Amino acid sequence: MVGFGMKSATATATYIAGNHTAAAANDTVLRKVLKDCSDKYALAADSLRLTVQDLDDEAYDYAYMHVLAAQDYPNVCRNIFRRAKGLVYPTEIRRREVSLRRICGVVSGILDRLAE
C-alpha cells in the first residue's frame, strides 16, 4: 500500500511539473505555485519512502510520522492555491489529493494495528 502511495505522489508531482508548467509560461505566480505543489508531492513520495525504511527497522512511530507528513503535503498545495488570488485549484490535482489522502489513511490504520 505504501508503494501505491509513492507511485501516486510521484505521478502527481510529475503531472503538475509537466502538464501545467507549460501552460503557466507567462504567469509567474501560477508557475511558482505549480512548482511549489510539485515539490510538495515529491516530498510526500520521499516521506513514504522513509516509511518503508522505518517499517524495515520496526520503527512504527517514525513510520506513522512519515505517513502523516505524506498525507499533509497535498494540503499545503491546496492552501498555496487558496492564498494566491485569482487561481483556481485544478480538479485533477484535487482528485489526486483525495486519492493520496485515502491511501495514507489506510496505511495509518495498518500502522495503528502493528503498534498495538
* DSSP-assigned states of every residue in the chain: -HHHHHHHHHHHHHHIIIIITGGGTT-HHHHHHHHHHHHHHHHHHHHHHHHHHHHHTT-HHHHHHHHHHHHHHHHHHHHHHHHSTT----HHHHHHHHHHHHHHHHHHHHHHHHH-
**Region 4-26: what's the mean pLDDT?**
85
CATH number for region 2-115: 1.20.140.40
* 64 pLDDT more than 70: yes
Percent of the chain with pLDDT over 90: 79
Amino acid at 91: T
Q: Which one, of 77, 79, 81, lies nearest residue 89 by Cα?
A: 81
| Spacing of C-alpha 3 from chain mean position | 13
pLDDT at position 22 is 67
The model's confidence at residue 21, banded by pLDDT at 50, 70 and 90, is low
Give the tens place of pLDDT for each residue, 77-115.
Answer: 999 999 998 899 999 999 999 999 999 999 999 998 887
Q: What is the mean pLDDT of the chain?
A: 92
pLDDT at position 92 is 94
Give the tens place of pLDDT for each residue, 40-56.
Answer: 999 999 999 999 999 99
